[in-house]
Amino acid sequence: MFTTEANDIFKAVIDAYHKTDSVDAQCPNPYEKGTLEYLLYYKNWVDTVQWHLEDIIRDPQINPEEALKIKRRIDASNQVRTDMVEYIDSYWFEKFSTIKVAPDAKINTETPAWAIDRLSILALKIYHMREQTERNDVNEEHKASCQKKLDVLLQQQKDLSQAIEELLEDIKAGRKYMKTYKQMKMYNDPSLNPVLYGNAK
């Protein structure tokens, strides 16, 4: 199934990142550029680096200037993340472009790629929650609490994977159809963010 492969790729990415555990490490994408596998690997790499940037910026002792640099980096990462989702949706849109849509077909609340985005983040939550269950510097109560959370996350991963498979099958069968929407983020656009265009006067 597609989601089995996607979850395996996400796990491989997260494992690869933690070999260096550095937000400045280069993405070791083993897949051919332009393939769906390449997009999934790179998408999760972006998510993984951003996860750790979010950890770093919450250090109460962080230098304010360094925090601002990281905040800017997170903003840029969010834009890349959005772009990657749109690339993945474009893949699916092209793949299903010749499907005959049923007259009573319905549109889903989110596109396949935005559901995959949630699956990518779930893989990160699972990895880091499992880490908490394996710590030697915490009590058993902490471990037990984190194990309960991990169990929920694993169930969420299973349920979301099934939902994505069903969505792709519905689109393939013409029971549902998809549209691709550009996110039209405004805060990075100097012509749309009032702080930016106000300073340009």
- Identify the band that residue 194 occupies on the pLDDT scale cut at 50, 70 and 90: confident
pLDDT at 201 over 60: no
Q: State pLDDT tens for residues 76-135.
A: 999 999 999 999 999 999 999 999 999 999 999 999 999 999 999 999 999 999 999 999
Q: What is the dihedral of CA 40, 21, 15, 2, to 10 degrees?
A: -10
Q: What is the pLDDT of residue 98?
A: 96
Residue 198 lies in a domain: no
Residue 197 lies in a domain: no
Residue 42 lies in a domain: yes
Integer CA distances (angstroms), 52 to 18, 25, 48, 118, 166, in order: 10, 12, 7, 17, 32
Which has the closest alpha carbon to 149: 124, 162, 135, 130?
130
Q: What is the pLDDT of residue 158?
A: 98
Determine what percent of the chain falls in helix, strand and coil, rounding each to the nearest 5: 65, 0, 30
Integer CA distances (angstroms), 163 to 79, 110, 169, in order: 26, 11, 10
Contacts of 65 (CB under 8 A, 6+ apart): none
**The overall pTM is greater than 0.85:** yes
Residue 134 lies in a domain: yes
**Averaged pLDDT, 130-152:** 97
Q: Who has greater pLDDT, 179 or 40?
A: 40
Q: State pLDDT tens for residues 23-66.
A: 999 999 999 999 999 999 999 999 999 999 999 999 999 999 99
What is the domain extent for residue 51?
Answer: 2-190
pLDDT at 144 over 90: yes
Residue 199 lies in a domain: no
Residue 149 lies in a domain: yes
Residue 185 lies in a domain: yes
CA distance 21 to 43: 17
CA distance 85 to 114: 6
CA distance 152 to 155: 5
Q: What is the pLDDT of residue 4?
A: 98
Beta bridge partners of 177: 107
Integer CA distances (angstroms), 6 to 3, 124, 129, 181, in order: 5, 13, 20, 23
Residue 40 lies in a domain: yes
Domain count, the chain: 1
